[in-house]
Structure 1
């Protein structure tokens, strides 16, 4: 049966009027009728016949393929799904509520899977073939697409899609989901308004960009903000925002614009704040320089398992740059540039939590001193539904806190004192 479907698919795609189909991409009923008519013509010409049920299924399949996503269309339209992971034509996984699950969708063959992958990357002016088997791109709706085909992929082509959510999460939403408590949210609001330099660290899919987006709502509307990203996910509401995005090299290996290029250029654009979607390489050196030269309130995310690991990873990324600095000088730069590290994590039950809000206090000898302001600790017992239970703890601010000094400068020391019960100096 699979060979018959493959044959009909191939014949329909060969004989269908593509110009007519392009006009019907947004009219699904008309598109299905057009595809069904094409299938009927193939049956009449070849003498092979399909049942009405199979014919309707094939019409749906070809219509979905023509419009772009093939059997992934329904998954792309499902708001509860955050990631779609295709491991060859027969195994499609999705992530819902932080958990992976296998779905009953499949491709007819690996050839159909590769054809759809090629159409998707062609939409954004890219190509995937034997000479370029790896492609990373951003779809027109903002979703992040990664495609791997043979000879790199051994068990069939692989497609990974990180969907671009339609709704914005606020700090109030994160409180509602149990990711943080109200006191932590209020502290992050004050820190954002006081132009504290913040790093959000965590693992893949832990909610780093979501939290960064939520904190960005509290940036003053009078500030000029530049956002620099590999794939545009930040959605700031301020009136004076300039959005920049990196660019991969083209077919002739030219035209690449790296994050480091964007950071260097951003410094010439008179920004008040620079927000880097993710810091992952040698651009870390320029980012620290920006934070150290008057661009207070800058923010970024990076991958790390704890606040201390985040700073250690920053050290490594600075060493990747051409700046031949001793380790002590790199650490001094980090201490003067970074004020707050917010650690987020996706727990085994699929929930996302703010595990630590940690302040960088300074250096003692050759070591960076960190002080937790808030932390989350899990309990041994789980709820009846299997959810991890735990509690958030507040440790307050120390007398030499940079956050408190910034609050004084921005006339927000009183809200900060009320937050911590007037226990500040």
Structure 2
């Protein structure tokens, strides 16, 4: 049985406490919005203003203003808080702060309307499968199917577009893993927050200013295999690490999981073939490896009303040496 825990809905805690924000002066223009537990994303579109997303889509903040120089200074400062450098020679950068906050910034002339900042804020509570059901992410029958996949130790691939809720759904599924099992997660940026007592988190590292010291997901995946994981999870496959993931899940590591960007279940085969090509896998090898390794594909989408919903559960199959999908019984 999974261990019991109490969870608050995404974007707020039971006591609606503010989200922790770095106590640095550079954060001041955005502090109010970064601390708001209901805000999931903050966007600064150069001199065109500030937008925030509280779960129902981006909304413009009409009384927020900074001039071009101030917006640039803000972008450089926010990236510096994450230990990286942003200037004309390096006009694009992505960093992670404490508590899973992701900050991405682009300077002019790459960003045509002034420095552009995109901030993804982690939820203030742990994701819970029952809570997602109450929010309308899936109906009771689909919820029971998802729990059964976890109980049966199926290898699960969660798919969806950016911001669809892949990480939240995956975290909720992993929260149902028995407490006796060891979960090792590997992410480009550590976002998965799981209500589980035995969770080991590994995070990739970018190269320093000299271009050395990078630790890629593929390397971390090989290291994780030596850590005796009961559940091996890759937060997102974006490139050649898909080869290591499929290899690992084909060598007795049941109950694993990963996420992949895709606009629909029907698009998953093409997406995986593209990732496999980056890893030197031909379509035939990719199809056979995927059909053997992945037990279920769970697709989630964000509707126009802002609600994330599971729109399908399928399984990969081989059709004429190419990868396909069919509905999971």
TM-score by length of 2: 0.88
Partner residue of 1:345? 301
Q: Taking structure 1 as reference, are residues 188 and 173 closer, same or farther at Cα in structure 2, changes over 3 Å only?
A: same
Residue 327 (structure 2) aligned to one of 365, 372, 384: 372
Mapped to 2, the partners of 1:176 and 1:266 lie a distance apart of 34
Per the alignment, in what secondary structure is the counterpart of residue 253 of structure 2?
coil
Say if 2:79 and 2:104, in contact at 8 Å, map to a contact too. Answer: no
Aligned to 1:363: 318
Task: Structure 2: give runs of 5+ residues left out of the alignment.
Answer: 1-21
Relative to its length, the structure with more helix (as a share) is 1
Q: Which has the higher contact order (CA 8 A, sep 6+)?
A: 2
Q: Which residue of 2 aligns with 1:8?
A: none
What is the CA-CA distance between 1:105 and the residue it aligns to?
4.2
Q: Partner of 2:99: helix, strand, or coil?
A: coil
CA-CA distance at 1:142 after TM superposition: 1.4
User: What CA distance in whole angstroms lies between the structure 1 residues aligned with 2:45 and 2:174?
Assistant: 36
Residue matched to 1:268: 226
Question: Which residue of structure 1 aligns with residue 60 of structure 2?
Answer: 102
**Pair 333,67 (structure 1): closer, same or farther in 2 beyond 3 Å:** same
Gaps of 5+ in 1: 1-63, 374-396, 398-425
Counterpart selection for 1:158 from 116, 127, 135:
116
CA RMSD, Structure 1 to Structure 2 (Å):
1.8
Report the secondary structure of 2:313's partner residue: strand
Which range is displaced more, 101-110 or 267-276? 101-110
Q: Does the CA-based 8 Å contact 1:89-1:106 persist in structure 2?
A: no
CA offset at residue 369 of structure 1? Answer: 5.2
- Cα distance in 2, alignment partners of residues 370 and 318 from structure 1: 17
Corresponding residue to 2:140 among 167, 173, 182: 182
1:202 and 1:319 map into 2 onto residues whose CA distance is 20
> Secondary structure of the equivalent of 1:267?
helix
Q: Deviation of residue 189 (structure 1)?
A: 1.1
Matches for 1:4-153 after TM superposition, within 5 Å = 66-153=24-111
Query: Is residue 238 from structure 1 mapped to residue 196 from structure 2 by the alignment?
Result: yes
Provide the residue aligned with 1:412 in structure 2: none
Shift of 1:220: 2.0
For residues 92-137 of structure 1, the C-alpha deviation after alignment (integer angstroms, 9 at most, x for no partner) is 1112223121112434322222222222222222111111111100
Equivalence for 1:218: 176
User: In structure 1, how many angstroms separate the alpha carbons of the residues matched to 2:324 and 2:88?
Assistant: 50
1:208 and 2:166 correspond = yes
- Cα offset for 1:352? 1.4
1:291-370 aligned at under 5 Å gives the runs 291-321=249-279, 323=280, 325-360=281-316, 362-368=317-323, 370=325
Q: Work out the CA distance in 1 between the residues paired with 2:177 and 2:127.
A: 16
Moved more, 257-266 or 195-204: 257-266
Which residue in the other structure is 2:125 paired with? 167
3-state SS in 2 of match to 1:200: strand
Post-superposition, which runs of at least 4 consecutive aligned residues in structure 1 deviate over 4 A?
Answer: none
TM-score with structure 1 setting the length: 0.69
Distance across 1 between alignment mates of 2:137 and 2:77: 38
Does the 8 Å CA contact 1:98/1:346 hold for their aligned counterparts? no
Q: Tell me the CA shift for residue 211 of structure 1.
A: 0.2
Point out the structure with max Rg over C-alpha. Answer: 1
